[in-house]
Amino acid sequence: MPPTLTTPRSADRDTGADDHAGTRTHAGADAGAAQPGYAARIDRVSKSFGRPGARQLVLDDIRLDVAPGEFVTLLGASGCGKSTLLGLIAALDQPSSGTIDVPGGRPALMFQEHALFPWLTAGKNIELALRMRGVPRAERRTETERLLELVRLKGAYRKRVHELSGGMRQRVALARALAQDSRLLLMDEPFAALDAITRDVLHEELTRIWSETGVSVLFVTHNVREAVRLAQRVVLLTSRPGRIGREWRVDIPHPRRIEDADVAKLSVEITGELREEIRRHGRH
Amino acid sequence: MAGTDSERGTAVAADRTEHTPADEERTASARTKWAAAPGSSEPEADPTDPGRDSAPDAAGDLAGLEAGLDALDTGTSARPPLGEILRRKVVPPVTAIVLVLALWQLVFALHVKPAYQLPSPLMVWGALAEEWYKGTILGIVWQSVSRGALGFAVALVLGTVFGLLVARIRPVRAAIGPILSGLQSLPSVAWVPAAIIWFGLTDATIYAVVLLGAVPSIANGLVAGVDRIQPLHLRAGQVLGATGLHGIRHVLLPAALPGYIAGLKQGWAFSWRSLMAAELIATSPELGSGLGQLLQTGRSYQDMPLVLGAILLILLVGVGIELLVFAPVERRVLRNRGLLGTPG
């Protein structure tokens, strides 16, 4: 597919040469009396990279709502712009057009690599997030201990990052993300680099923590079974450019396991769709 | 070609419904139900409890499994015993020093050069002892060390500011980045004549030379440290809300610390060197006497034992500060980040 020029998505906005024409709202958690009925609203968002004349459209007309407390997985092959989309929602980058509204304040983001700061202990990593959120010094320590307990790492406060296993690092990273006390947790293939047993355990932990905290989760993965295992709703993202494709509600009751027959059955169906989508790129 | 998918809803599965508040309540109540299930009243993780597999209690099972995984995955690292450290770290350099001294004594005994040109180790020791008995040597060493320390401290501040500016502001980097690296290769002795013309035979001359020697090293070290920061850490800092000054303090500076410390080490070496050069050339009664002046005194009296003694002292101070100040700090920083191989 040849590089496509971005076309203005909204009539009132000229996106001609400006790559940052999209708007975003990150209202504070306590702003406004009436809470909107979503944890994130992505409306007609497009993103393209490159210089004018050689633009590469990465995301095209993305419309997606995440309901408060909802667990959504965003599924797609590589190159579909999943990570780009999360970066846009997390305000690490600006959309070329369209709007992103996150009413619960700055969303938390967990990366594939733990992204913990190696110059701090596990506890201090979490405390930094609390400090940036404005939690007073006196409360930080107890709050950190509570979060460590939540991810079952009681006693890891003084541990250095390099002293922890891959699974433990991701749990500290999860605790640090939760320390931001955001209503929306974005996860960018956070378990992709872990071994199967550890990943399995972390799936259970994440499901438990999601149900205990009521946080909304937007979880990006290329692993179909993982998507089905975790989500209430699986959204397929097509590749080049990334567009919202089919989506599935997952009504399999919890507790689920990745090897459950129901999970496998739906995974087969979704995989078929994903393969068909990938195959399309081979035909010209 | 993918146009059919772009309209949201055309390809949506039949069972998908639009999100409504009622919908959300449904999921919320379903979740409460699940949270109230017996499985989620979690018992404490107990790695010593064996028979959990057969229990239907999924959460307890998970805690045990997790504790086991954590235990299996966490390496144990114990520090080697003190004797081992002594044998590996102290014995080799001491042996090397003894060998050098023995070789020196041998060359002296063979009369390769006349004694006034090549004195024996004992004669050098005698010259230092004589200075010691005169009661001046501590003052001389202190004069140089305090100058070095003060010059280094000022260089630290200036170098850090310059380094941050060059590392973070693109036009500044383009403008003075190359000059800063170029200055590093300019021997700071070259500044001595200029400094004397500007400031005369004063302390200002000496400090000017020290700063011109040390500031580029420290700034370049910081720039290198900042350049090697993982982009992921910067993104993570942004996500946490550590931006602006918070970002510099909590993410940028600590992340750049290993490179920064390497720059400081080099900066100290350059300050010390520049100081000796300045003291050696700029000698005057008002400047007092440091190690460089001691060297100059030895040269004017053709006192080779004193010259060699002064060189030894200069070396000793330089190496001593490196070993006592910088090496422990660097080791600590690297060990905390897991960048040092297993200790020993």
CATH number of the domain encompassing residue A51: 3.40.50.300
Q: Is residue A201 situated within a structural domain?
A: no
Please check whether residues A48 and A166 belong to one and the same domain.
yes
- Min mean pLDDT across A12-21, A271-280, B268-277, B321-330 is at A12-21
Q: Residues A136-195: pLDDT tens digits?
A: 888 888 888 888 888 888 888 888 888 888 888 888 998 898 888 888 899 998 888 888
Query: Within this chain, do residues A185 and A229 fall inside the same structural domain, yes or no?
Result: no
Return residues 108-167 of B near A (CB < 8 Å). Answer: none
Distance (Å, whole) CA A38 – CA A36 = 6
Question: Are A186 and A49 within one domain?
Answer: yes
Say how far apart CA B187 and CA A29 lie, in whole Å.
Answer: 58
Are residue A157 and residue A43 in the same domain, yes or no? yes
C-alpha distance from A17 to closest chain B C-alpha (Å): 23
**A21-56 pLDDT, tens per residue?**
566 565 544 444 456 788 888 888 888 887 777 778
Contacts of A203 in chain B (CB under 8 A): none
Report pLDDT for B29.
Answer: 42
C-alpha distances in Å from residue B303, one per residue of A30, A106, A149, B117, B311? 80, 73, 71, 9, 13
**Same structural domain for residues A173 and A276?**
no
- Domain of residue A262 covers 223-284
Q: Which of B60-74, B125-139, B271-285, B286-300 is the least confident region? A: B60-74
Please report residues of B whose CB lies closer than 8 A to that of A109: 239
The pLDDT, as a whole number, for residue A35 is 64
Asked if A211 lies within 8 A of B1 by C-beta distance, the reply is: no
Tens digits of per-residue pLDDT, B222-272? 999 998 898 889 988 988 888 888 888 899 889 999 889 999 999 999 899
Query: Where is the domain boundary, A155, A179, A195?
Result: A195
Q: State pLDDT tens for residues A215-267.
A: 899 999 988 888 888 888 988 888 778 888 788 888 888 788 888 887 778 88
Are A128 and A253 found together in one domain?
A: no
Q: Quick one: average pLDDT of B142-165? A: 91
**Residue A20 predicted with pLDDT over 80:** no
A22 falls within a domain: no
Phi-psi region of A195 (alpha: psi -120 to 50; beta: other; left: phi over 0): beta
Structural domain contains residue A147: yes
Residues A175 and A228 in one domain: no
Contact call for A244 and B240, based on CB within 8 A: no
pLDDT at res. A24? 57
- Predicted TM-score (pTM) of the model is 0.71
Query: Which residues in chain B have their CB less than 8 angstroms from residue A92's CB?
Result: 235, 238-239
* A209 assigned to some structural domain: no
Q: B261 by DSSP, 3-state: which?
A: helix
Q: Which of A41, A128, A228, A270 to mutate to test the interface with B (most CBs of B within 10 A)?
A: A128
Query: What is the predicted pLDDT for the residue at B28?
Result: 43
Which residues in chain A touch residue B251, judged by CB atoms under 8 angstroms apart? 117
Amino acid type, B175? A
Asked if residue A5 is part of any domain, the answer here is no
In a domain, A99, yes or no: yes
A190 and A227: one domain?
no
| pLDDT for the residue B185 | 83
CA distance A63 to A61: 6
Distances (CA, A) of B194 to A18, A141, B278: 52, 56, 11
Work out whether strand A56-66 and strand A40-49 pair parallel, antiparallel, or are unpaired: antiparallel
Structural domain total, chain A: 2
CB contact under 8 A, A246 and B11: yes
Instruction: Say if residue A189 is in the same domain as residue A228.
Output: no
Question: Is any Cβ of chain A less than 8 angstroms from the Cβ of B65?
Answer: yes
Residues A47 and A161 in one domain: yes
User: Going from the N-terminus, what domains does chain B have, and what CATH number goes with each?
Assistant: 131-336 (1.10.3720.10)
| Shared domain check, A157 and A48 | yes
**Rg of chain A taking only CA atoms, in angstroms:** 19
Question: Quick one: A283 and A179 in the same domain?
Answer: no
Domain-ending residue, one of A152, A176, A195: A195
The verdict on residue A259 lying in a domain is yes
Q: Is residue A105 part of a domain?
A: yes
pLDDT at residue A82 in the model: 83
